[in-house]
Amino acid sequence: MQALGARRADAAGQRGLTVIVKQPVFLLGILVDLASWLISRFALHTLPLFAVQTILAGSLAVTVLLARLVLNTDLRGPDRLAILATMVGLTLVGISAGGEPTQEITHWLKICILIGIPAIIALGILALELKKSIVLSVLSGAAFTGSALAARSVHFKDESISGLASEPLLWAVLIYAVLALGLHASALMRGRVGAVTAAMWSTEVLVASIIGAVALGDHVRRGWGIPAIVGIAITLAATLELARSPAQELDPLANSAHNHPAARGRG
């Protein structure tokens, strides 16, 4: 829905985030995305970072299936295999994930999380000037991961309103999320949906897996290390394939196969 809203604005010759957010379908997509984001923040307090981010990446399988059922887009043979592979990969990830009770993080890690905000803003401005959609997608994935990392690390010693407002990591969760949504929308307006989506999810899964293992001490169930790695690899590979699906390249003016960009020879 977000991609369709962004494309409709672009097709009308209108550019800029202020124009995109006026598209009802884009706003509805944002609301759905926000709901899943809120739920995933709670999941981060009981599951490893790599598990949550990998499972979220598996949402592309749902996108492709819904696009086939609702919008009558093409469902290629590779798409069917990728959907099946996603189910297998996510099953392995889910079974292998060990419980992760929240724990205090080091002072330096908290500083790194906060420093990441101005760094992503600066790089995002540069990418906007250079019109690099893939860079914007990667930064969007990094921002989503930053939000997840901050949510996983936040601890409230004082649950009063003033205590919550004074917790920097809580603000980091929200700021990273806003940055991620803005960067993602900008990338959708400048690049192909498939490439943008693949770059974003690849960044989220890989960065989350590395940071979770190195900085947060995420672990898998005893004896499930290799299945976890295989599950992540399968899911990531399937995600990259699904990002190339016709369902990810919606025409802003029509949804028929005849009007699909690929049918008109634009790739």
The pLDDT tens digits for 20-67 are 777 888 888 888 878 887 888 788 877 888 888 888 888 878 878 877
Neighbours of 247 (CB within 10 A): 25
Quick one: average pLDDT of 197-218? 81
pLDDT at 252 over 50: no
pLDDT at 254 over 70: no
Whole-structure pTM over 0.85, yes or no? no
Q: Which residues touch 205 (CB under 8 Å, ≥6 apart)?
A: 50, 53, 54, 57, 232, 235, 236, 239
Q: How many whole angstroms separate alpha carbon 30 and alpha carbon 260?
A: 24
Quick one: average pLDDT of 236-261? 59
87: closest CA among 239, 240, 248? Answer: 239
Q: 3-36 burial string, b = 16+ CB within 10 Å, else e?
A: bbbbbbbbeeeeeeeebbbebeebeebbeebeee
Token pair recorded at residue 28: 């509805």
Q: Report the pLDDT value the prediction gives residue 267, as an integer from 0 to 100.
A: 36
Quick one: average pLDDT of 5-10? 72
pLDDT at 264 over 50: no
Percent of the chain residues past pLDDT 70, beyond the cut: 79
